[in-house]
Chain A
Amino acid sequence: MKHKALLLAAACAVPTLAAAAGSNAFNPDIALVLSGTYSDLQHNPDTYKIPGFPLAADSGPGARGFSLGESELAIYSNIDPDWYGMFTFSMHGDGTADVENAFVQTTGLGNGLTVKAGRFFSGIGYLNEQHSHTWDFVDMPLAYEVFLGSQLKDDGVQVRWVAPTDTFTELGGEWMNGSNFPAGGSGNNGRGAYSAFIHFGGDVGYSNSWGAGLSYLGTKSVDRTTCTDAGCTISNHLESFTGNTKLLIADFIWKWAPNGNIYDQNLKFQAEYLQNRNDGQFTPAGAAAALPYSGTANGWYVQAAYQFVHGWRVGLRHGQLHADNPGAAFANTTLDTKGHTPTRDSIMVDYTNSEFSRIRLQFNHDNAGPVTDNQWYVQYIMSLGAHPAHIF
């Protein structure tokens, strides 16, 4: 009896037991990001083209005027001691919505091993895995837009292994459907994309940290089509590509914060180089026969975001693309570079009122197309509810 009383007293002394009661205590975390953009674009975004580069379906500077940008709803939680799951529903500027992420991931394998299955952002490069609300600019760099259709997500399986080393070393590989750009069509019976990557990282003293990586993506396309005209309504304005695309990415990131305190001041520098090789058959719009095509293109960007005082950041970015000239047979197709070197320079200022709210102004001097486009953006990004911890 005395023993029982002691037990009871001990149970009462544990204070944190109180709240967790009803079955809804097991509800997953819910995080809503409300994001909206106002865009002032000098040229009609429907006619946006980058000579030399067949673009993914919804590429370009976005819609003019007000749009909901990338509002997203994320639901996530541990499933049991060995599994974690996340679901993200994303609203796009054009009013459509889709499942951005829906994956389960192991937490119980140990030995540095993690397996993920479902729909997820590929782990290649640095920026590809970052959700849009964590980007330092409204849009992705040019190289990501032309080679990855902004950001590669697909359905598949991912395996990652963190090595037991002092310097962060992570090896990863993915096997995906190949349902999204740069893959296209039902290439390779639903096994159209593979990737492999290695990421390194570490600290230099308390104030500096870095990350670097090398990634490879191989995709297959069967009749991947590209519109050559606005609206994409006329069938003989479609080009198509059947073949293999190999993409190499080298990424580097450096972050500085005095003594590791990011609150008042911090600097983030990042640079990535992407090299893209296509081998296969290219059919120009309206042409009867396919032409054999092999071409290499590359692109890179450097950017820096500097928080000079709590709340305020400025950012600069330069991006550039280079493509092979495929020759006279490809004149006036999207592969025709017309001797043009696409570039885009961006500057942004943003104000962060709290960890949960940010307002941004951005200007792009966009020379990606044949005519210069001056683009202004005003954007808000606000987080409601739970807020998942950001990746580095």
Chain B
Amino acid sequence: MKTFAKLFALALLVGVLRPAAADINVFACEPEWGALTHELAGDKADVYTATNPFQDPHHIQARPSLISKLRRADLMVCTGAQLEIGWMPQLLLQSGNDKIQKGRPGHFEAASHVKLLEVPDTVNRALGDIHPDGNPHIQTDPRNIGEVAKALTARLEEVDPANASYYAARGADFMKRWDAAIARWQQEAKPLHGVRVVVHHDGWAYLFNWLGIQKAGALEAKPGVPPSAGHLAELKQELAGNPAKMVVHAAYQDDRADRWLSAQTGIPAVKLAFTVGGTPGAGDLFGLYQDTIDRMLKALKK
């Protein structure tokens, strides 16, 4: 009976503590960083992704469930550049977790490892929801993923030194496949060079910079301010004089304004994954760029 009680207590304890099979817990803010951590750390890391591809990463609430996850994290992988300013600071404060606080090895911000575009000269809220550090949507250029992958590999080695050689080997393997994929995508995407494209939100600066695509306008007159009828009419007028080939939006965005513009101007409205999982083809990081390029090439032929 006593043995049974002991066993029962042990079972309870194990049930409560549930030691994870993986060596470290990772809290990823967006799906692209969850996917990248998974590529680099394999089954050594238990990765929790805080947002799904159909959520707007600007507007997430500091929910209790997220505090719980962050409390147990050994490493936090987020975009930074103030993308998560509306929720991460509160989660960090409430988590009671010292490992992932700013300045600690467990605090990883991807945007600090790449060159940011569209850094504003002046910052004023009258200009809409702008990001003073620059455009934070860095994941639309695979070369940024490569830079972040290198930095993240080093960070994994620092946070979990016992598995350092494992991360180093996985990181090197990933970079080899990644560089080859980038070369292939650049070849495939050549027809997109110089093409004029309208964007819904200013989330594509890095993709356009990479492939030499020209931004022909944005449905949001100011970042984060929903498309207004007046602005759309103006945009339609502009496009009549200098046409674009397509209008693109992220999977998480409401596409009503895109469809309106498409119907008015005859250019196709294209939904792009924006992050891993946003479209059926974007199942992993490799799929994300392949699917993005495929969809734009298909729209170009229309």
Contact = CB atoms under 8 A, between A and B. Distances in A.
Contacts of A384: 125
Nearest to B115: A15
A260 B17 CA distance: 29
Contact of A201 (B59, B63, B88): B63
Interface stretch (B3-11, B64-72, B235-243): B64-72
Interface string B109-132: 001100110010000010001000
A110 B129 contact: no
B278 to A, nearest CB: 13
B262 interface: no
A168 B67 contact: yes
Nearest to A166: B68
Contacts of A111: 96
Contacts of B54: 259, 261
Contacts of B102: 78, 81
Please tell me the size bucket of the interface on B.
35 or more
Contacts of B17: 164
B129 A107 contact: no
B94 A162 contact: yes
B230 interface: no
B90 A201 contact: no
A255 interface: yes
A389 B87 contact: yes
A81 B90 contact: no
A114 B96 contact: yes
Contacts of A355: 86, 129
A203 interface: yes
Contacts of B16: 165
Contact of B61 (A160, A199, A255): A255
B58 to A, nearest CB: 8
Q: Which of A112, A356, A384 has the most CB of B within 10 A?
A: A112
A103 to B, nearest CB: 12
B85 interface: yes
Contacts of A166: 68
A260 B59 CA distance: 9
Contacts of B252: 261
B158 interface: no
Interface in A131-186: 160-162, 164-170
Given A105-B93, A108-B101, A390-B90, A260 B68 contact: no
Interface string B151-182: 00000000000000000000000000000000
A160 B96 contact: yes
A38 interface: no
Contacts of A289: none
A209 interface: yes
Interface string A381-392: 000100011111
A202 B64 contact: yes
A109 interface: yes
A101 B17 CA distance: 37
Contacts of B226: 310
A392 B68 contact: no
A113 B133 contact: no
A392 B62 contact: yes
Contact of A389 (B62, B64, B115, B119): B62
Interface in B206-229: 224-226
Contact of A168 (B68, B90, B111): B68
B151 to A, nearest CB: 11
B294 to A, nearest CB: 25
B37 to A, nearest CB: 20
Nearest to B95: A162
A206 B252 CA distance: 14
Given A164-B72, A392-B63, 14 more contacts: A81-B104, A82-B98, A110-B96, A110-B98, A167-B68, A169-B68, A199-B64, A201-B67, A202-B64, A203-B63, A203-B65, A260-B61, A389-B89, A391-B94
8 contacts: A16-B111, A110-B98, A112-B96, A112-B97, A113-B96, A165-B68, A389-B85, A391-B94
The 3 closest A-B pairs by CB, nearest first: A201-B64, A168-B64, A110-B98
Interface of B: 16-17, 51-52, 54-56, 59-65, 67-68, 71-72, 85-90, 92-99, 101-104, 111-112, 115-116, 119, 125, 129, 133, 224-226, 252, 254
